[in-house]
Amino acid sequence: MGFQLVGLNHKTAPVAVRERLAIPEPQLPEALQQLLRCPGIGEGLILCTCNRVELLVATQNGSAELRTFFRNYGGLSARELDPHLYEYCERDAVRHLFRVAASLDSMVLGETQILRQIRQACAVARKGQTIGCQLNQLLNHAFAVAKRVRTETLIGSQSVSIASVAVELAERIFGSVRGAHVFLVGAGAMGELAARHLMTRGAASLSIVNRTYERAVELAAKFGGAAVPFEELYATCHRADIIIASTGAPTAIFRREHGEMFLGRRRNRPMFFLDIAVPRDVDPQLSKVDGIFVYNVDDLQEIAAAHAAARCKQAVRAESIIDHEVERFHARLQTRDVVPAIILLQEHFEGIRRNELLRLSGLLASLTAEQQSAVDALTRGIVNKIVHTPIMVLKTSAQASEGGAAVAAVTRLFGLSAVKRALGDAGPVEEADQLAA
């Protein structure tokens, strides 16, 4: 079974395309089940954030129709969608996942949210039983790679995120957010980060609007703000100088008519909307109203690029770590291919040893317990020395992509006709991992 990944992100597709493919969290379990119904897919995971949507699968035939899944879900033609997609297989898919987990492919280089988002996607897939041995192994290695990059480089030395970059953009617009009245629409993780940055930079007031009012109250208490019922959103948010929107709504909640109404109440004092949601919370038509300024996640790239430049040297080091880990993971995968043969070989010779000791049990009965223990250790040591060379040949051959030929040779040499059947089941993951390490 091989790995395949198809997706699009902030570098390959504008937000207008990404929002067509964004999968709301409540719909993710069903989308995963649909993904697994595609021909040739044995395991699957969907990663959906404001900056990317990716399908990662373990395939039985090495060529799953993931592009078709995307087209059907987004209602897009091949002409509309395909220019924005990237596709990776096997080693390249592994490398891409490692880079994403380590935040080397993020808009904000070094941000920490992506790893949490991958873990959440993984948890949903595990709950739905759409990932198994193959993707579990790959994802666990990706988490370890991300940790190593964080530990061995300074790429995450400064806390940055899409939310912090959004607040930085607000400061560029205003000169300072000190004294500004802010409405935060959406009290999720991204909204909480934005609130933290706003309050530390001197915002005069913070009002939090969320469909679940209790969550708005909780977040408002944390930052000394005020909770506003969602039903009062349009009646109250004209008070805001800055509106940061980060809900999970499937369609825009701010439209042109809202902007015209807000400006009338504000006597034409300008308003700034920072839309960091995908799908977008703010209709692009709203920006056509004089006095309304709208920015979305794609507008944050200039600031994000400045952060990336400052971390360039750390990124080079991180890429080197990923190169090493890709090779290490690939070698481990290849070694696992011969694990069933290694296990069967060991069991075969251990069976011979036990049978011979049983056959001679009458002669050995006169020995003391200490002498019998010595005989057992001696015969076990002989068996280990006999199987050591063929096991090393199997492992070395696997790493050189010659594992199949080596398994066939060992099968013929030692008469292990059952090896071919064993290859269909690699046995317990723990035992296979120990032998492959």
User: Residues 233-279: pLDDT tens digits?
Assistant: 999 999 999 999 999 899 999 999 999 999 999 988 899 999 989 99
Q: Do 211 and 287 have their domain in common?
A: yes
Q: Do 184 and 296 have their domain in common?
A: yes
Banded model confidence at residue 217, pLDDT cuts 50, 70, 90: very high
Q: Do 11 and 54 have their domain in common?
A: yes
Which amino acid belongs to residue 264?
G
Q: Do 138 and 269 have their domain in common?
A: no
- Six-digit token pair at 124? 């949903």
Which amino acid belongs to residue 279?
P
Q: Do 252 and 288 have their domain in common?
A: yes
Banded model confidence at residue 418, pLDDT cuts 50, 70, 90: low
Report which DSSP code applies to 83. Answer: G
Cα distance between residue 415 and residue 249, in whole Å: 63
Q: For the residues 165-194, what does the mean pLDDT come to?
A: 84
Residue 27 lies in a domain: yes
Report which DSSP code applies to 158. Answer: S
Q: Do 255 and 297 have their domain in common?
A: yes
The pLDDT mean for the chain works out to 86
Asked about 50 being catalytic, the answer comes back as: yes
Cα distance between residue 112 and residue 164, in whole Å: 12
Cα distance between residue 213 and residue 51, in whole Å: 27
Q: Do 264 and 344 have their domain in common?
A: no
- Six-digit token pair at 374? 């010595």
DSSP E strands in 237-388: the ranges are 242-245, 271-275, 292-296
Q: Which of 245, 252, 111, 253 is nearest to 187 (CA)?
A: 245
Banded model confidence at residue 12, pLDDT cuts 50, 70, 90: very high
Q: Which of 38, 48, 50, 89 is catalytic?
A: 50
In the chain, the number of structural domains is 3
Give yes or no for residue 431 having a pLDDT over 50: no
> Under a CB-based contact definition with an 8 Å cutoff, are residues 305 and 312 in contact?
no
Q: Do 167 and 141 have their domain in common?
A: no
Q: What pLDDT sits at residue 62?
A: 57
Domain of residue 373, residue span = 337-436
Sheet strands side by side (includes 2-9): 41-48, 52-59, 2-9, 86-89
Residue 26 lies in a domain: yes
Q: Is 261 helix (H, G, I), strand (E, B) or coil?
A: helix
Q: Do 200 and 146 have their domain in common?
A: no
Q: Do 359 and 342 have their domain in common?
A: yes
Banded model confidence at residue 161, pLDDT cuts 50, 70, 90: confident
